[in-house]
Amino acid sequence: MLRHLMALFILALAALPVSVTAQDVRLPENATPSAIDRASTGGAQNLADIERRQNGAEIDDGFRRNNLGGDAATVPSLGPLGGRSDPDLWRGIRYNELPVRVSTMNKTGRVLVQDNGMWWQQFREGPLATYGAWLLAGTLAVLLLFYLLRGRIRIEGGKVGRTVTRFKAIERFAHWMLAGSFILLALTGLATLFGRKVVIPLLGHEFNSTLLTGSKFIHNNVSWAFMIALVMVFVMWIWHNIPNKTDWVWVKQGGGFIGDKHPPAKKFNFGQKIVFWAVILLGFSVSLSGLSLLFPFEIQLFGHTFNIINDIGMAEAAGFGPLQGDLTPHAEMQYAQLWHAIIGFLMMAVILGHIYIGTLGMEGAFDAMGNGEVDERWAEQHHSLWLDEVKQDKRTPAE
């Protein structure tokens, strides 16, 4: 019985693999790693290889990639495995040098080894978390410095007491739905990224586990409110956010932040237009990568994008070699996660500035989204052209 089982196992192994789509760590075409003499180890890895790896240098992995064993005739003692030892077999799978056949029709099933995951994990825990945290801390520091230098921007001459409707209820509804969902997504996203590094040492594994379970629940479901509100805001406000020549005046006068001038502006000034387009473009991008993560392996964005970048020569123009367009489904997910987090950090930095100027930074600004009514003097000083239009409309009622 045991012999039959062994025979079956060996047959399965021999028939195994596989047109594997393991991560390709082949050297770029233009890379010229220095030749390493491996005579002392009989062609295997030696100290020079280890040192190059530790220094982050390119490694010619041909000695490993091409060491796939032999056929039964040349290595008769390994006949049952087709002349390959187990290490030969797995090496071939890792380097995508053996054909892998699996019963599943799904592409993900053919990925038996995917060592891009190590790079992804190191990047996620290293540069992504570090630079992301610094971006947020730096933004808060700049806002604090600005507040200390400039103080709160007051309404010159004080409020006049008459108000004008700045945003209708539906506009405020969409804004707050976008804002509320974004804050939840940002906090749960930060918890997901920093939970292991920050929360566990402070509050323990149990707390982090509960926090991340809740974060995942909120992140997956609240994202839909964010996407719906993003579309609402886009449709309602895009016409007010097309750049025009008054924006140049706003830029020349430093947006009123520098000096005492009040540059003219329509419904949205140039600063608000920057926030609008940042939210729309980054929001669209973060939604797309989020959908890719929400439905694993169904939406694959990066291999295709990398191929386009290669085709139009962007990668070479930027000084890189060609990007790898043939990605495993798992690498696609890893790139989607990194991109999602990078865009998320950028959005958080923009929104911190937006929250500051809408609350603490400027007197009377919050009313616009609070109850929709702003003081006329505030409107006169910050959106004079828009106020003129509103007054004009009041004087000429629709026929």
Partner 1 sequence: MKAMLAGFLGVAVIGVVAYFGLHEIGFSSAEVYSGENVRLD
Binding site for partner 1 (CB under 8 A): 106, 108, 169-170, 172-181, 184, 217-218, 220-225, 228-229, 294-297, 369-372
Which is nearer to partner 1, 184 or 327 (by Cβ)? 184
Closest to partner 1 by CB, 108 vs 246, is: 108
Considering beta carbons, is residue 176 or 257 the nearer one to partner 1? 176
Q: Assess contact for 348 and 136: CB atoms under 8 A.
A: yes
Distance in Å, CB of 239 to partner 1, minimum = 21
Minimum distance between the CB of residue 178 and partner 1, rounded to whole angstroms? 8
Residue (134 or 176) nearer to partner 1, CB: 176
Instruction: Give the Cα separation of 93 and 84 in Å (integer).
Output: 12
Rounded to a whole number of angstroms, the minimum distance from the CB of residue 105 to partner 1 is: 12
Give the nearest distance from C-beta 391 to partner 1 in angstroms. 24
Min dist CB 123 to partner 1, Å, is 22
Minimal distance, residue 58 CB to partner 1, in Å: 35
To the nearest whole angstrom, how small is the minimum distance from the Cβ of residue 356 to partner 1?
A: 18
Kindly state the smallest distance separating residue 221's Cβ from partner 1, in Å: 4
Distance CA 299, CA 340 (A): 14
Of 158 and 214, the one with the shorter C-beta distance to partner 1 is 214
Q: Which is nearer to partner 1, 142 or 299 (CB)?
A: 299
- Closer CB to partner 1, residue 364 or residue 370? 370
- Quote the least distance from Cβ 112 to partner 1, whole Å: 15
Q: What is the 3-state secondary structure (H, E, C) of the chain?
A: CHHHHHHHHHHHHHHCCEECCCCCCCCCCCCCCCCCCCHHHCCCCCHHHHHHHHCCCCCCCHHHHCCCCCCCCCCHHHHHHCCCCHHHHHHHHHCCCCEECCCCCCHHHHCCCCCHHHHHHHHHHHHHHHHHHHHHHHHHHHHHHHHHHHCCECCCCCCCCCEEECCCHHHHHHHHHHHHHHHHHHHHHHHHHHHHHHHHHHHHHHHHHHHHHHHHHHHHHHHHHHHHHHHHHHHHHHHHHCCCCHHHHHHHCHHHCCCCCCCCCCCCCHHHHHHHHHHHHHHHHHHHHHHHHHCCCCCCCHHHHHHHHHHCCHHHHCCCCCCCCCCCHHHHHHHHHHHHHHHHHHHHHHHHHHHHHHCCCECCCHHHHHCCEEEHHHHHHHCHHHHHHHHHHHHCCCC
152 versus 168: smaller Cβ distance to partner 1: 168
- Please identify, using beta-carbon distances, which residue of 208 and 223 lies nearer to partner 1: 223
CA 33 – CA 60 distance, rounded (Å):
6
